[in-house]
A and B are shown apart, each in its own frame.
Chain A
Amino acid sequence: MLRFVRQFSHHLIGYATWLPPLIWFNTYVAQVTFISGPSMYPFLNPQYNESLKRDLCLVYKLYAQWNLERGMVVTFRNPVDPDKITVKRIVGLEGDVIHTRPPYPQPTILVPEGHIWVEGDGDKSKDSNYYGPISHRLVTGRVTHILSPWKRAGRVRWWEHASSRSQP
């Protein structure tokens, strides 16, 4: 019995030492995560109102704040709630003039230095039209692949989604 306990705890500690590398990898290199909510409908979660199934995505985190482009689907810390991670598409980069949507108070805005303009694909989206341009420092990762469901699995072809609403 004693031997079993000793062996068991030995294995437990052995597995526990893998936790830091795992967390580190998930935070700084890549993470597989479920996307919830309709804000990226119909690109992600096209069946959000029919089932509880959520899309499983690969989020690439290495150098996530560098070389951002219009059309990319990014994860970022929500400017209104720092403990929430949000997924949106980049519509404008710094220096772009954006034609905003309600409820943003001004019809157009110049995206300031170091900031990006993000929007959801769906209409049920609380995005930059609600909280304004966001700092690129809030970006935590890029959604690069859809892993599940199988039907839509594959690379996220963000470059096909360049918006017509921003002018460099």
Chain B
Amino acid sequence: MSFLFGGLLGHPLRTTLAVGKFLAFTHLFLEYGYSTAPAVGPSMLPTLEILGEWLLISRRHRHGRNVAVGDVVAYNIPINDSFGVKRVLGLPGDYVLLNAPGSGNDSMIQVPQGHCWIVGDNLPASRDSRMFGPIPLALIKGKVIGRIKPFRFERLENPLQTAD
């Protein structure tokens, strides 16, 4: 008893501080290193399923750092308080179609400085840059590097990076 009180439990302040430091460290790691998040919805079919997807996100790619066209990113949706997952089709200075191919409208824009153009893989079911325009790179939380499945990990490849 006296050992317990004299040691760990005897210093509630010290214990609290240690826990607090640990929590802060963990939070920073999840914010600036790697984090995981669920993805729900039909907008990234068939790359990601509607339900049951758990993603590994590299927060080192936050704010669009080293993100390439073709990467899948997690981003803060500019018009509400949730986050989404979409594919990057254009970075600052790139040229993209304003609408989906085959929409009958071939208008294009140049992605402005500091912005990117993101579109879901399932064109009819995705609300993306075609609706709210280019989004600031600052809203990119990170790059989706893979999906975590029970007992395995599937890397997401960038179709534009790998030569065909």
A and B touch in the complex (CB under 8 A): yes
Say yes or no: is B20 at the interface (Cβ < 8 Å to chain A): yes
Q: Are B79 and A115 interface neighbours, CB within 8 A? A: yes
Per the bound structure, the CA–CA distance linking A137 and B24 in Å amounts to 23
Per the bound structure, the CA–CA distance linking A134 and B132 in Å amounts to 12
Say yes or no: is B28 at the interface (Cβ < 8 Å to chain A): yes
Q: Are B28 and A82 interface neighbours, CB within 8 A? A: no
Report the nearest A residue to B76, measured CB to CB.
A137
Say yes or no: is A31 at the interface (Cβ < 8 Å to chain B): no
A88 CB to nearest chain B CB (Å): 15
Report the nearest B residue to A66, measured CB to CB.
B81
A163 CB to nearest chain B CB (Å): 23
A114 with B114, Cβ < 8 A, contacts A82-B64, A138-B136 known: no
Q: Are A137 and B78 interface neighbours, CB within 8 A? A: yes
Per the bound structure, the CA–CA distance linking A82 and B116 in Å amounts to 11
User: Among B76, B112, B132, B138, which residue has the most Cβ atoms of chain A within 10 A?
Assistant: B138
Name B130-149 residues within 8 Å CB distance of A. 132, 135-140
Which residue in B27, B79, B115 is a CB contact (below 8 Å) of A114?
Answer: B79
A137 with B139, Cβ < 8 A, contacts A79-B114, A80-B114, A81-B114 known: yes
Name A81-124 residues within 8 Å CB distance of B. 81-83, 112-115
Q: Are B28 and A24 interface neighbours, CB within 8 A? A: yes
B112 CB to nearest chain A CB (Å): 8
Say yes or no: is B63 at the interface (Cβ < 8 Å to chain A): yes
Per the bound structure, the CA–CA distance linking A65 and B138 in Å amounts to 14
Say yes or no: is B113 at the interface (Cβ < 8 Å to chain A): yes
Say yes or no: is A78 at the interface (Cβ < 8 Å to chain B): yes
Per the bound structure, the CA–CA distance linking A137 and B77 in Å amounts to 8
Q: Are A113 and B20 interface neighbours, CB within 8 A? A: no
Give per-residue flags for A62-84: 1 if the beta carbon is below 8 A from chain B beta carbons, else 0: 00010000000000011111110
A77 CB to nearest chain B CB (Å): 4
Say yes or no: is A20 at the interface (Cβ < 8 Å to chain B): yes
Per the bound structure, the CA–CA distance linking A78 and B138 in Å amounts to 8
Residues of B within 8 A of A17 (CB): 21
Q: Are B20 and A135 interface neighbours, CB within 8 A? A: no
Q: Are A24 and B113 interface neighbours, CB within 8 A? A: no
Which residue in B79, B81, B138 is a CB contact (below 8 Å) of A138?
Answer: B138
> A77-B136, A82-B137, A135-B139 provided; 18 other pairs, C-beta below 8 A?
A20-B21, A20-B28, A21-B24, A23-B28, A24-B24, A24-B27, A24-B28, A77-B63, A77-B138, A78-B114, A79-B136, A113-B80, A114-B78, A114-B79, A115-B78, A134-B136, A135-B79, A138-B138
19 contacts between A and B (CB under 8 A): A17-B21, A65-B81, A77-B63, A79-B136, A80-B112, A81-B114, A82-B63, A82-B64, A82-B114, A82-B138, A112-B132, A113-B79, A114-B79, A114-B80, A135-B79, A135-B136, A137-B78, A138-B138, A138-B139
Which B positions have Cβ atoms within 8 angstroms of A?
20-21, 24-25, 27-28, 31, 63-64, 76-81, 112-115, 132, 135-140
